[in-house]
Amino acid sequence: MIETDIMRVFIPATIAFLIGIGITPFVTHFLYRNRMWKQKGGKVALDGTDAVEFNRLHQEREVGVPRFGGVIVWASVFLTADLLSLLARIYPGPFGDLAFISRSQTWLPLAALAVGALVGFVDDLFEVSGRRGIKLRIRLAVVAATTLFIGWWFYDKLDVSAITLPFVHAPLELGILFIPFFVLVALFIYAGGVIDGIDGLAGGTFATIFAAYAGIAFFQHQLDIAALAAAIAGGLLAFLWFNIPPARFYLSETGTMALTLSLTVIAFLTDTLGGGKGVSVLPIIALPLVATVLSNVVQMFGKKILGRKVLRIAPLHHHFEALGWPPHKVVMRYWVVGTIAAIIGMTIALL
């Protein structure tokens, strides 16, 4: 029944939200007691020079606000998944349908979430210990290696070698090139994780994206994927509750790497396997992430080719700040654009 299916999605989302709200005071106490923030504020641009505009806007806030906020998100998801699985074993009658850990649908995105959470956690530990975090090329190598394996799994074990395009009846066959395509999509989405730059921006953006994919998976009747995506959205809303300005903590690498890796896997799971268009609508649903990456590319192009900056500062959300927009105005307008983009993307995916 449709009511039962809806509850299979909404209940995990609600539980993840409540768990996130419940564990946050304990996590916050630990983070502040142990001063889990960067010892020195400021960033370096991709070309190795000081990020002058960013440091002017955010250097002071980087010291004194803990990292590791992503723990709230992924911990609430894993606790929800384990709790519902345990209840399903003990009370299979009322809870049997609520367990969403399944080999066919959620093992891969949960594994991606775990890998990203772990590597990002180590990076955050390095940052708060006064050392530089894990080098970017190493983090990119981790993302590439993880998604290379998952892409191979799709191709070899799940027999997926094509993606579906909007308004086109026949899937686009990629053959063995499906695997490097999977990796490139993952790297691109991971690069969008730098949207974690203003209080509330990343939390609201990612919550909208995962809610959209929960809807797409639901209408494909991939209910375990829908429940997982909804649980992630619930965990993000709990994080966002405490991240609305002034932020209590930052999502940081343990959050952004986990979320972007799992998002990539979910997008591919809702593509040909689900009879949908999960990959081709990803640039629409994740429009704020795409704009973030493209603004960095444009800025690098301007510096290297034109000899000048195109934007006051990259990524784009910081450019708006540099123009004088208050941070809350940037965040809320991103939320509006992200919501509209998610609705459009879902509509196209379900046509």
Q: Please indicate, yes or no, if residue 335 is contained in any of the structural domains.
A: no
Q: Please indicate, yes or no, if residue 305 is contained in any of the structural domains.
A: no
Identify the bridge partners of residue 120 per DSSP, sorted by sequence position: none
Q: Please indicate, yes or no, if residue 237 is contained in any of the structural domains.
A: yes
C-alpha 33/C-alpha 22 separation (Å) is 18
pLDDT in tens, the chain (351 residues): 788 899 999 999 999 999 999 999 999 999 999 999 887 765 655 555 555 555 665 555 667 889 999 999 999 999 999 999 999 999 998 898 999 999 999 999 999 999 999 999 999 999 998 778 899 999 999 999 999 999 999 999 999 999 999 988 889 999 999 999 999 999 999 999 999 889 999 999 999 999 999 999 999 999 999 999 999 999 999 999 999 888 999 999 999 999 999 999 999 999 999 989 999 999 999 999 999 999 999 999 998 888 888 888 889 998 999 899 999 999 999 999 999 999 999 999 988
Of the candidates 55, 21, 33, the residue with the CA atom closest to the CA atom of residue 235: 21
Of the candidates 122, 129, 138, 137, the residue with the CA atom closest to the CA atom of residue 40: 129
Which domain range does residue 173 map to?
A: 2-277
Q: Please indicate, yes or no, if residue 334 is contained in any of the structural domains.
A: no
Beta carbons of 119 and 127 less than 8 angstroms apart: no
What is the pTM assigned to this prediction? 0.94
Q: Please indicate, yes or no, if residue 316 is contained in any of the structural domains.
A: no
Phi then psi dihedrals of residue 103, to 5 deg: -65, -40
DSSP readout, 45-91? -TTSSB-HHHHHHHHHHHSSS-S-THHHHHHHHHHHHHHHHHHHHH-
What is the tally of structural domains in the chain? 1
Q: Please indicate, yes or no, if residue 86 is contained in any of the structural domains.
A: yes
Q: Please indicate, yes or no, if residue 39 is contained in any of the structural domains.
A: yes
Per DSSP, the three-state class of 159 is coil
Q: Please indicate, yes or no, if residue 347 is contained in any of the structural domains.
A: no
Dihedral sign for Cα 202, 207, 210, 216, please: negative
